[in-house]
Structure 1
Amino acid sequence: TEGNAWQYSWFVPQDQAALFRAMGGDAKAIAKLDAMFDYDNSKIDYSHAEDIAGLIGQYIHGNEPSHHVAYLYNHAGAPWRTQARLKQIVETQYKPTPDGLSGNDDLGQMSAWLVFTSLGFYPVTPASLEYVVGRPFVERASLALPGGKAFTVVADGLSDNNPYVGAVTLNGRPLTRSVIRHDEIMAGGELRFTMQSQPNRTWGKAAAARPYSMSRR
């Protein structure tokens, strides 16, 4: 319910790699993701369904089944495409007004998506204990952790003109994978992004750098 094949075709969070192989490989999966976001809705009448909101093509941010989809480019080795889609979503689906959410908050998920995304990571597959790295939307944020520890996110050079991630470090060391682990956050430390104007098409591309998939264990 609350979706169609455009949304639920992507709902294999435990094994996106297997799904992409079934689709014909990374390039075809990326093309399908692009087709979802770029779909022309101009000839579709949604007047009978007032709760369909927050559309970007057939990506529907106003309803939660779509919320992980923008991050799936990481699973195909193209995190820079995730970064571009996140910018598109944040800029069109949120605003500081009484009607600033594109859909029902549903136990806080609509807001939680923005909080996670603003920090630069998101739990696409929560049971994997990994967070997929996107791009930050705040220059600095600090999470207070048990035992007096803190986990800080810093975005150097963040601006409208620098929407892409050029490099990432975790506690001063290069982070070449496009995920951060839950225990790394809970240990405290610093996740630092270097933002730039052009996409880094190599960061996170290698198979070993991609998020968890059950068939790649």
Structure 2
Amino acid sequence: MTAEHPHANMMVSSAEAALRSGWPELLKLSVGILAAIAVVAGVIMFVSQQVMSGGHGSVEIVPAAAPEAKVIKVYVSGAAQRPGVYPLKEGDRVEDALRAAGGPTDEADLAKVNLAALVRDELHVSIPARTTESFPAQSAEAPISAGKVDINAASFVELDKLPGVGTVTANKIIDYRQRNGPFRRPEDLRDLKLVNSATWDKIKELVVAN
């Protein structure tokens, strides 16, 4: 039989004792590492939730400012409280132009005005006045006045007095003027079929388009 060496047995016993005494420290270290990992994971999840729910990490979207409407100028004449040139905006209507001019007078005949029509730059809005005055019939050759009638500025009464025109045609001329702007030349009345050839022959020497 081989004799056991006493020093060898002592070394083995010492190693086993040291190993047993080190297990609690190793266990504590492992638990600490796991706890640190859990804390880091929790912080990451919290920050992610804040970003997704609109927290400090969210991106604020600022809407672009709407472009300003272009300023236009419109001339209001006739039966308005304060006839004149007024600044308006694109998209405004005849009603807005009349409001800028102080509104209609008591004599204004708004039934002959398309208040919903859109206005544009350099438009002339003529507000006709009601009249109870009867005008005598005129012959085709009778002049209206010493001067010619400007079809771009004439009131309903002035147009109605032209030979062969009458109330229906006068309204058509004013309505076209409000919708499309001033006439370029007197012949537009004939070319646009606002008056027939017979009426044009009667008024062609009596009208201008300024």
TM-score (normalizing by structure 1) = 0.23
Larger radius of gyration: 2
Question: Relative to total residues, which structure has the larger strand share, 1 or 2?
Answer: 1
Question: Relative to total residues, which structure has the larger helix share, 1 or 2?
Answer: 2
Q: Give the number of the structure with larger relative contact order, counting CA–CA contacts within 8 Å between residues 6 or more apart.
A: 1
